């Protein structure tokens, strides 16, 4: 950090924007305490296993249109307004679940909640990477996972012990609170520069950096503006993003990371957590879920500090390796229990395996593969395709999430729990090699430096490097 800046606003704005992900975490984990309530008859809605699987999965499907909406609103209204507006469908969906008595209305409600999550996922990571200094961008991006874990912990900790209506009332308050705390956050300077609003960009930049030195702000904005102008001259559509050679490397990397992030089963495990523990351990499912939630939250907090000391690649390699090994162990336990059917005494002696395995999975997932792909999808693409790319990446996430959560129950019923966990583990093993050979290190690099690396050195205008002339030109334009 230079002597010209103070990062207080970056931290506060980043935390406030990231709070929207508490609703995402709550939406994902909501089914864990709710499914036992439905099956016990506590809820005045009768659902079959197939209908329950739709309720669980439709939030991910709803995020698909949310991604497109987030892309459009982020470009037209700005990052800040879109972050606030993302709460609206979430509030509507949570309120519908609170009052519905039919499965069909619950389906619609979950789709609306998914739309809210899709908008949030697209715009928030763009906002965080654009306002954060390169030294803290990774740690600030990791706060997203902390917020997701906080929302999940709330479901695990409150859900089993309160009524269905009380739980859903709490869920409804989350997007309302998130919207209110984001009213004050400054707009991204990149958004203003994209539309050539230099004066507004400079004002936002100085607020975000805590800077009073006008000359220094002009110098820094001049370099950013140059990259933004170059990018916006080549503004691309989704078709061009997928077809142009200069974006291909980033597309391959992010698509691969998204596969490993979601196909390793984290969201399916969170959604069916209480049921998994009920079938594999003598410890009460609700209490084990609470332990899981606290461990998950602690892992997310720890990951924010690790991101400041270690690179993206090493964290993801360690994360994928640990996820693969822990899921393999859980699969072995279910194989012995469900297929080999070993005697109860032996099974009881190793009953700790699924608990330890899932907790280790939880920790190591949060450290790397659970969060870093969000950061990198906002880092690897230039501003001219950033919202399109982020939207497309999040759409991939939604499709993968829907596929995993919807097929989990069917695969488990047909092939057994152990096959499910071994599939997840196999994908994680492949992820280790993918990250090692293909994923670049972005820690400590500015967004402009990352683009120079991804697309090759570009010939920048020499007059822009002449600070006095560049500053005067910017003032004339303003």
pLDDT in tens, 363-372: 899 888 887 8
pLDDT for residue 231: 67
- Residue 470 pLDDT greater than 60, yes or no: no
Query: Please, where are the H alpha helices in 162-284?
Result: 164-181, 189-194, 198-209, 214-232, 238-243, 245-262, 266-271, 273-280
pLDDT digits (tens, 9 = 90+) for 185-217: 999 888 888 888 888 888 888 888 888 878 888
Residue 241 CB neighbour total at 10 angstroms: 19
357: alpha, beta or left? (left if phi > 0; alpha if psi -120 to 50): alpha
Task: Give the Cα separation of 343 and 337 in Å (integer).
Answer: 9
Cβ-in-10-Å burial (0-12, 13-18, 19+) of 388 comes to buried
pLDDT digits (tens, 9 = 90+) for 115-134: 999 999 888 888 888 888 87
- Residue 98 pLDDT greater than 90, yes or no: no
Task: Please report the sign of the dihedral spanned by the C-alpha atoms of residue 225, residue 227, residue 233, residue 237.
Answer: negative
The alpha carbon of residue 380 and the mean position of all alpha carbons in its chain are separated, in whole angstroms, by 16
In this prediction the pTM is 0.73
- Residue range 243-258: mean pLDDT, rounded: 86
Q: Confirm if 325 and 361 have CB atoms less than 8 A apart.
A: no
Class of domain 8-185+234-444: mainly alpha
pLDDT for residue 308: 65
Task: Give the Cα separation of 476 and 470 in Å (integer).
Answer: 10
pLDDT band at 293 (very low <50, low <70, confident <90, very high): confident
SS3 368: coil
pLDDT for residue 307: 67
Residue 339 CB neighbour total at 10 angstroms: 13
pLDDT band at 47 (very low <50, low <70, confident <90, very high): confident
pLDDT for residue 174: 94
List all residues 6 or more positions away from 420 whose beta carbon is below 8 Å from its beta carbon: 265, 268, 331, 408, 411, 412
pLDDT for residue 28: 85
DSSP 365: H
- Nearest Cα residue to 323 out of 292, 291, 358: 358
pLDDT for residue 339: 84
Task: Give the Cα separation of 187 and 437 in Å (integer).
Answer: 37
- Residue 475 pLDDT greater than 80, yes or no: no
- Nearest Cα residue to 274 out of 30, 23, 27: 30
């Amino acid at each position: 950090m230079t002597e010209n800046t103070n990062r207080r606003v970056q931290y506060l704005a980043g935390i406030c924007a990231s709070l929207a992900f508490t609703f995402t975490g709550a939406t994902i984990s909501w089914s864990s305490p709710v499914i036992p309530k439905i099956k016990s008859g506590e809820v005045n809605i009768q659902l079959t296993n197939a209908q329950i699987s739709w309720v669980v999965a439709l939030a991910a499907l709803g995020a698909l249109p949310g991604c497109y909406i987030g892309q459009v609103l982020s470009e037209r209204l700005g990052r800040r307004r879109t972050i606030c507006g993302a709460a609206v469908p979430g509030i509507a969906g949570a309120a519908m679940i609170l009052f519905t008595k039919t499965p069909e209305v619950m389906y619609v409600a979950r789709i609306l909640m998914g739309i809210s999550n899709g908008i949030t996922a697209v715009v928030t990571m763009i906002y965080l990477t654009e306002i954060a200094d390169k030294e803290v961008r990774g740690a600030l991006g990791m706060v997203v996972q902390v917020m997701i874990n906080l929302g999940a912990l709330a479901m695990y900790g409150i859900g089993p012990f309160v009524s269905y209506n009380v739980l859903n009332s709490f869920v409804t308050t989350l997007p309302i609170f998130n919207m209110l705390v984001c009213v004050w956050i400054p707009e991204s300077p990149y958004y203003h520069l994209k539309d050539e609003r230099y004066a507004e960009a400079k004002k936002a930049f100085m607020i975000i950096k805590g800077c009073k030195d006008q000359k220094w702000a002009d110098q820094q904005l001049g370099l950013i503006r140059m990259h933004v102008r170059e990018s916006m001259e080549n503004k691309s559509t989704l078709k061009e993003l997928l077809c142009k050679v200069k974006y291909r490397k980033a597309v391959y990397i992010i698509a691969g990371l998204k596969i490993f992030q979601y196909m390793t089963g984290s969201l399916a495990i969170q959604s069916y957590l209480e049921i998994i523990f009920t079938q594999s351990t003598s410890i009460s499912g609700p209490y084990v879920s609470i332990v899981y939630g606290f461990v998950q939250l602690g892992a997310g907090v720890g990951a924010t500090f690790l991101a400041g000391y270690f690179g993206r690649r090493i964290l993801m390699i360690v994360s994928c390796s640990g996820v693969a090994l822990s899921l393999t162990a859980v699969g072995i336990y279910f194989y012995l229990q469900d297929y080999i059917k070993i005697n109860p005494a032996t099974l009881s002696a190793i009953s700790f395996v699924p608990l330890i395995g899932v907790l280790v999975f939880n920790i190591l997932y949060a450290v790397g593969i659970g969060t870093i792909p969000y950061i990198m999808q906002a880092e690897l693409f230039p501003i001219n395709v950033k919202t399109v790319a982020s939207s497309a990446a999040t759409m991939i996430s939604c499709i993968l999430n829907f596929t995993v959560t919807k097929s989990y129950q069917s695969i488990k019923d047909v092939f057994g729990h152990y096959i499910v966990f071994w599939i997840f583990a196999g994908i994680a093993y492949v992820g280790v090699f993918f990250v090692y050979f293909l994923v670049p290190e972005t820690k400590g690099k500015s967004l402009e430096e990352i683009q120079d690396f991804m697309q090759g050195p570009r010939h920048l205008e020499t007059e822009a490097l002449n600070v006095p002339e560049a500053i005067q030109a910017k003032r004339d334009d303003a």
